[in-house]
Amino acid sequence: LGEMRAGTAAPAPAPSPAFVDRDGLLSFESLPRYKELTAQQAAADMLGLKNPYHRLHEGRSGATARIDGREVVNFASYDYLGLNGDPRITRAVAAAVETWGTSVSGSRLSSGERPAHLALERALADVYGAQDAVAFVSGHATAIAALPTLMGPKDLVVTDAFMHNSVVLGAQYSPATRRTFPHNDLDALETMLSRERHRFERVLVVSEGLFSMDGDGPDLARLVALKERFGFWLMIDDAHGLGVLGATGRGIAEHAGVDPRAVDIWFGTLSKSLVSCGGYIAGPAAMVSYLKAFAPGMVYSVGLPVPVAEAARTALGLMLEEPERVQRLQANSRAFRDGAAALGLDVGPSWGAGIVPIMVGETIRTVILAQRLLERGINAFPVLPPGVPERSARLRFFLSASHRPEQIDAALTALAEEAGALGLIKDRPR
């Protein structure tokens, strides 16, 4: 330092030569799955198929949607109860925007806590008779925030093999050991727990109330019995069960006649029956306080905008006040599932509640079927691997309380002809 002050600084190092990206790894096109992307598009172009992803909807999507300037009957919306755009929700949201603006402009921990958050969380907790609930800004991020916060390195997370990606990632981001059991195979779960339970401190078993790809669910009463025998926390992702299952739409517990307090952790989303955006966890007060204090998605992320929270709370109120919506959805779902099965189509293990897959198998045939149906004014989304196991591509139909019987009939008629032309109809009705 003394020498530098005296003006005898060491000569500046020669500029190093520019980095040469010999392997081209800094080009984004070299990312491992980029080829897949281009290959998919090339295959679609070759077959004259339109890319089914990111299709533009030109208006509000519910029982109908506007695609390519044309109104179609829509079976690709989460709006199970037909509440999106309900004037009562729109008015509540408009009033909330007027009063609170569009953002809470801070994490709830620091400066973003508002009465609407607490009101929504109380209403959600009450659905499950739970002590408390906490809402996050995204359903997907809720699981990612919750699992690593609750589960430590001496713990085990066991998930159904068909769990939604949010729970899979939440488990991966936690330091716990992970296991899966074959879809809904509670015998396999029991065997695994008999062998492994003693090796871990806390164990979390996670299933879905209504599986988003297959439209079936677990034997909840048996899961509760296993929990009592082996000692674990039971977490249920009832994202698709709320508003869809049970006489009043309270989900899988109501459907199964199980006390919802037997489930330790209820996980759900505000984006489906509740026509808003965000996710929640409901359960014992200690668990909820723990997440509020330590879950990164709560501590380091902005709180829900008040209008978004108010949309969900108003929708939840309407779900409970108007159980006829739930009944209409259930009747529509059964009519579609039974109609499709009677045609000889494979509806998988679907319960006929909200979600009905039409199993196709091959990816290309699934995309062709989706396109032909769309040409006939029926929109249903093709679900392809890796979203589902190989060779189990399917067309997924979401039913809504606002579908009219003639719209369901139109879908069945189109399916009978187009699926028949693709050789998907079995000889004998199931």
**Could you tell me the smallest distance in angstroms from the CB atom of residue 387 to ligand PMP?**
10
**Could you tell me the smallest distance in angstroms from the CB atom of residue 265 to ligand PMP?**
13
How far CA 124 is from CA of 107, 209, 263, 297, 338, in Å, comes to: 21, 16, 15, 19, 33
Q: Which is nearer to ligand PMP, 159 or 166 (CB)?
A: 166
**Could you tell me the smallest distance in angstroms from the CB atom of residue 376 to ligand PMP?**
26
Q: Which is nearer to ligand PMP, 82 or 279 (CB)?
A: 279
Q: What's the rounded Cα separation, in Å, for the pair 31 and 398?
A: 34
Q: How many CB atoms lie within 10 A of CB 283?
A: 25
Q: Which is nearer to ligand PMP, 15 or 386 (CB)?
A: 386
Q: Which residues bind ligand PMP (CB under 6 A)?
A: 138-140, 164, 166, 208, 212, 237, 239-240, 269, 271, 279
Q: What's the rounded Cα separation, in Å, for the pair 265 and 304?
A: 21
Q: Which of 169, 125, 164 is nearest to 145 (CA)?
A: 169
**Could you tell me the smallest distance in angstroms from the CB atom of residue 238 to ligand PMP?**
8
Q: Which is nearer to ligand PMP, 298 or 343 (CB)?
A: 298
Q: Which is nearer to ligand PMP, 200 or 280 (CB)?
A: 280
Phi, psi of 355 (to 5 degrees): -120, 125
Q: Which is nearer to ligand PMP, 139 or 218 (CB)?
A: 139
- What token pair was written down for 105? 């402009």
**SS3 labels along 188-252:** HHHHHHHHHHHHCCCEEEEEECCCCCCCCCCCHHHHHHHHHHHCCEEEEECCCCCCCCCCCCCCH
Residue nearest to ligand PMP (CB): 139
Contact 204, 149 (CB under 8 A): no
**Could you tell me the smallest distance in angstroms from the CB atom of residue 138 to ligand PMP?**
5
Residue labelled with tokens 């309270």: 250
**Could you tell me the smallest distance in angstroms from the CB atom of residue 29 to ligand PMP?**
29
